[in-house]
Amino acid sequence: MHSKPPLPRRTGALALAAACAVLLVPATTSLAASGGVGGPGSGSGGPVGKAKLKNGLAVAPSNAPKRVVRVINAANKIAKGKGYCLGGGHGSWESNCYDCSGAVSYALRGGDFVKSSMPSGGYMSWGKRGKGKWITIYANGGHMYAVIAGLRFDTSMTPGAGPGWSREMRSSSGFKVRHPKNF
């Protein structure tokens, strides 16, 4: 169990961005153990197909809906070569670096699920409650990540490394679980 260091005293978007940086931890939980897509209590049984990782990028399953493929393609665009920075992806869609919510917002924008970037706290009431069939968002006031076609898209794999994909799931304890309607 990782202990959380105290958060710096900041307000607004900087506080949320700083919290994302503070919560960078390695992924140590398996998909099934975390109750992730297809895991215990998933209800929908997870996506019909599961994305694969190839050279650090996600490859959409052949039966993925077009909007899901566009989300994966957008996430892939920033998954390699973009670093992590507080507030990254919030002032402009195109950035040299992204924070947790900036990265997830960028990916969701690819599928036309969001029109503007939001901090992690904004995703706590976004979309529909519970896990989605193809896309699930995990958000709290200080961090967020997404599971898209069975892979985790997050900024917490390697501290400072920026957004990326992983087969490993992290604990969803303390996160609100949301998904886009019909996905």
Count of domains forming the chain: 1
87-108, pLDDT tens digit by residue?
A: 777 877 788 889 999 999 999 9
Domain annotation covers residue 1: no
161-183, pLDDT tens digit by residue?
A: 889 999 999 999 999 999 999 99
pLDDT of residue 89: 77
Domain annotation covers residue 5: no
Q: Which domain holds residue 147?
A: 27-179
pLDDT of residue 1: 42
Domain annotation covers residue 2: no
pLDDT of residue 48: 66
Q: The domain spanning residue 163 has which CATH number?
A: 3.90.1720.10
Domain annotation covers residue 167: yes
Question: What average pLDDT does range 107-124 have in this prediction?
Answer: 95
Domain annotation covers residue 169: yes
32-39 long-range contacts, Cβ below 8 Å, gap at least 24? 33/169, 34/169, 34/170, 34/171, 34/172, 35/172, 36/136, 36/147, 36/150, 36/152, 36/169, 36/172, 37/131, 37/136, 37/147, 37/150, 38/150, 39/169
Domain annotation covers residue 103: yes
Domain annotation covers residue 17: no
7-55, pLDDT tens digit by residue?
A: 333 344 444 444 443 333 333 333 333 334 433 333 444 446 899 999 9
Domain annotation covers residue 18: no
